[in-house]
Amino acid sequence: MGNSLAIADVTGVVSGQQAALAIARRIQYATETYRIALQTAIASAHALGNQAMSAQVGFAANSTVIARLVEAAEILAVEIARANQAAATVGPMFVGVASEFARRNS
């Protein structure tokens, strides 16, 4: 997604409606991309934890390593929830702005 609407002038009701909808789509896209990246990091942390638990190098007995991996995965899960909440709150606001522009245009 480009930045064209980030610098484009809103010259009227129709362009305002289009700009608001573009922002809503950008929020949705950014949230999905961020969520996927964090879920990938969580899966990697889980895989590393499983490797550490099964390795014959003493990590299995080192609860600090496992605890840090679990804590990191939990923090990432919280960030996913926060991003989803922000998108669920802000995205509809921009759709509402677009609707207001459309209403004024009719």
Q: Is 3 among the domain residues?
A: no
Q: Is 5 among the domain residues?
A: no
For residue 7, the model assigns a pLDDT of: 44
Give residue-wise pLDDT tens across range 36-58. 999 999 999 999 888 877 765 66
The full DSSP string for 7-76 is H----SHHHHHHHHHHHHHHHHHHHHHHHHHHHHHHHHHHHHHHHHHH-SSSGGG-HHHHHHHHHHHHHH
Q: Residue 59 above 60 pLDDT?
A: no
Q: Is the pTM of this model over 0.85?
A: no
Q: Is 88 among the domain residues?
A: yes
Q: Is 77 among the domain residues?
A: yes
Give the lowest-confidence range in 54-58, 73-77, 85-89, 98-102: 54-58
Give residue-wise pLDDT tens across range 3-28. 454 445 556 666 888 999 999 999 99
What is the residue range of 19's domain? 13-105
Q: Is 7 among the domain residues?
A: no
Report the alpha-carbon angle 10-15-20, nearest 5: 85
